Structures are given as structure tokens and as C-alpha cells.
């Protein structure tokens, strides 16, 4: 029996890669950086399946280069804004993602960023390493309290709610804005409000929405201006949800106390980005889900989606079930 041919666009944790290798003939892109577009187009020709990352734009041209044999696209991420899902659906190709398993790791990290931005952890570390720590100072590196503050969650799906559970331990008042969220668990004691109320009242605003045409640029010059003076913005969702120029302006002018970004627009952040010049902007390289166990589970789930698609079975986690109709 001939084995399916798949292209895997980067080395993923062994748990998932071994599963794929046991079932398929694998062409693996070995570099640390993603395949450039021309290479992606070249390497997908004639494959039955594609396992890609959030760094790989997979559009109609990529699908057409693969040809009519392409039976499944499996994204090694919960977000799938890198894939033209409508184009996949039109071609009857199911697209898989990795929901659920990275919820807690991402919520842990959003809270780590929130704490670090408020209590100036990265700045403190830079201060010490620069040899500037001369004495204990009554007004050295002061920041706002986290406990008892108001947290505004934009997006109240799995990850937003997991952040709310952590915030409850810090006795925070929790507001959320999410027109699509089902009724919240009353145990969370979270209050649904409109976007303007959330921005005006929250001391911390944390983003947990997917990137869609509706959320692109949601935090822009106008909406950032509604934020409470001295508030802190945390983004572990997708970079383009925030306008970087408007954010830099709000941080430079001291209207916001700080921002903590796991994601930027674009990624990686350009070396000349004004955000990199600001001490009150903490930036890390899209690592919110990067716990060892979580990345292992993501690789397994992505592999299971890929193999199910190749075998003509429904994907365990499919973002476009309408592709089967
Ligand atoms: C995702 O999965 O969408 C995250 O951004 C990376 O883990």
C-alpha cells in the first residue's frame, strides 16, 4: 500500500513527528526559520497532507500548488488566521487546529505578563544588570497593585475564562467584553460590559480574541484613548489586534502605565519599532503556549488531525466541518 506524502513545515516536538513518520512519508523543512513562500509552493507539490505553523501563510495558491490530492491541512496552533479557510472549504479540504490543550499554559503566561508589567520585573532585571542597583530605594521601580484591581478581558472564550479564574485568586474585579461568548460561569463572578465601559474602568486589559476582520485594529488610537489613565495592556492573542504606532504613542506619553506583548504586528517585531525603545513595553517572542507539556500535546493533536484527514476520517479538531458537505 502506498504511504501518504506530507510536508511538515518545521520540526515539531518528537511525540507528534514520530506519529506522522510512522504513518506517512514525511518531507520535513529542517530550518529554524519558516520556508519562504517560493519554497512552500515548491515543497507542497503533489502532497496528500500539509502540517503547517502559524508562521506559514497557506492561501489558495499554496493549495492549488499542492494539487487535487491535498486532503488535509493541519495547523500546529489553535489560531488559524494564517490559513485561507474559505479557500480550503471551497476545495473540500478540512483544516485542523489544536484547541483546548494550550488554554492553561496561555492563561498562566498572560497572568505572568500582567504581573511582570505591573511590578516592572523586566525593567528591574535590566536595572540590576546595568549596574544601577546602589541601594534599596523607597521610590524605586514602583508600580500599581495587581490584587484588588479591575481586570478587563476582551474575549471570554476558553483562555479569557482561564485568566479570570487566575484573577479571582488575586481578588480582582473581572469585567469582560465578548458579544459571542456563551453565558459566563457564575462562579467566575465576571460582569459582561460593553467595550467602552471595559476600557474606561479596567486597570488591566487583556486580549483573548482571534484575529478576524472584526478584531483587526480593535485597539487603535480611539479605543486606546478610552483606556483608564495608567492602565496596562496585555496581548497574548494576535499582534494585529493592536495598532503598534498608536500603542507606542500612548506608552510614550504615559497615558498607559505599561504594555506587555507576547505577539506583535508584524512578527518578529522590526528592530526599528518604536515599541523597542520604551522601557514600559515588555515584549517576548510569542511564547505564551511554550510549556514543554503543552507543545508536546499540540504536536500530538496536530499529528492526529493530519493522519485522520489522510485516512478520510473526520478530523478530531476541525475548523471547517462544512468542507465535508
Ligand atoms: C496558537 O496556537 O494560536 C498560539 O498563538 C501559539 O501557540
pTM of the model: 0.97
Report pLDDT for 181: 86
DSSP 289: T
Report pLDDT for 2: 84
Active site residue 191: no
Q: What residue's CA is closest to ligand 1, atom 4? A: 77
Which residue is associated with the grid cell 478520510? 312
- Separation of 75 CA from ligand 1 center, angstroms? 10
CA pseudo-torsion sign 194, 195, 200, 203: positive
Report pLDDT for 82: 98
**Cα–Cα nearest to 75, from 92, 54, 93, 57:** 54
What atom of ligand 1 comes closest to residue 80's alpha carbon? Answer: 3
pLDDT tens, 224-233? 999 999 999 9
Looking at the predicted structure, is the pLDDT value of residue 208 above 80?
yes
- Separation of 205 CA from ligand 1 center, angstroms? 20
Distance CA 257, CA 143 (A): 8
- Separation of 206 CA from ligand 1 center, angstroms? 16
pLDDT tens, 13-52? 999 999 999 999 999 999 999 999 999 999 999 999 999 9
Domains defined along the chain, listed by start: 4-101+292-324 (3.40.50.720), 103-283 (3.40.50.720)
Q: What residue's CA is closest to ligand 1, atom 7? A: 289
Does the C-beta of 79 come closer than 6 Å to ligand 1? yes
pLDDT tens, 256-274? 999 999 999 999 999 999 9
Name the active-site residue from 71, 208, 286, 317.
286
Active site residue 255: no
- Separation of 79 CA from ligand 1 center, angstroms? 6
Amino acid at each position: 500500500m502506498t504511504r501518504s506524502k506530507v510536508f511538515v513545515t518545521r520540526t515539531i516536538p518528537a511525540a507528534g513527528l514520530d506519529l506522522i513518520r510512522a504513518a506517512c512519508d514525511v518531507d520535513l523543512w529542517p530550518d529554524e526559520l519558516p520556508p519562504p513562500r517560493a519554497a512552500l509552493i515548491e515543497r507542497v507539490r503533489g502532497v496528500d497532507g500539509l502540517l503547517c505553523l502559524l508562521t506559514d501563510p497557506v492561501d489558495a495558491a499554496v493549495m492549488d500548488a499542492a494539487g487535487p490530492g491535498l486532503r488535509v491541512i493541519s495547523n500546529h496552533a489553535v489560531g488559524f488566521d494564517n490559513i485561507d479557510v474559505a479557500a480550503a472549504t471551497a476545495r473540500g479540504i478540512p483544516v485542523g487546529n489544536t484547541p483546548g490543550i494550550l488554554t492553561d499554559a496561555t492563561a498562566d503566561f498572560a497572568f505572568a505578563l500582567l504581573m511582570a508589567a505591573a511590578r516592572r520585573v523586566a525593567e528591574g532585571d535590566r536595572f540590576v544588570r546595568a549596574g544601577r542597583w546602589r541601594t534599596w530605594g523607597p521610590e524605586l521601580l514602583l508600580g500599581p497593585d495587581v490584587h484588588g484591581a479591575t481586570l478587563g478581558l476582551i474575549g471570554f472564550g476558553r483562555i479569557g475564562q482561564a485568566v479570570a479564574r487566575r484573577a479571582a485568586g488575586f481578588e480582582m474585579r473581572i469585567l469582560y467584553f465578548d458579544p459571542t461568548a456563551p453565558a459566563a460561569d457564575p462562579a467566575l463572578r465576571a460582569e459582561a460590559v460593553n467595550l467602552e465601559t471595559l476600557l474606561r474602568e479596567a486597570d488591566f486589559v487583556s486580549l483573548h480574541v482571534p484575529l478576524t476582520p472584526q478584531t483587526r485594529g480593535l485597539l487603535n488610537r480611539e479605543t486606546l484613548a478610552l483606556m483608564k489613565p495608567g492602565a496596562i495592556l496585555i496581548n497574548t492573542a494576535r499582534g494585529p489586534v493592536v495598532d503598534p504606532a498608536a500603542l507606542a504613542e500612548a506608552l510614550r506619553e504615559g497615558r498607559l502605565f505599561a504594555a506587555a506583548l507576547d505577539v506583535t504586528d508584524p512578527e518578529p517585531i522590526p528592530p526599528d519599532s518604536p515599541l523597542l525603545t520604551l522601557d514600559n513595553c515588555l515584549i517576548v517572542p510569542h511564547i505564551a503556549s511554550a510549556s514543554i507539556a503543552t507543545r508536546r500535546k499540540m504536536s500530538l493533536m496536530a499529528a492526529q488531525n493530519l493522519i485522520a484527514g489522510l485516512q478520510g476520517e473526520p478530523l478530531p479538531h476541525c475548523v471547517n466541518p462544512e468542507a465535508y458537505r
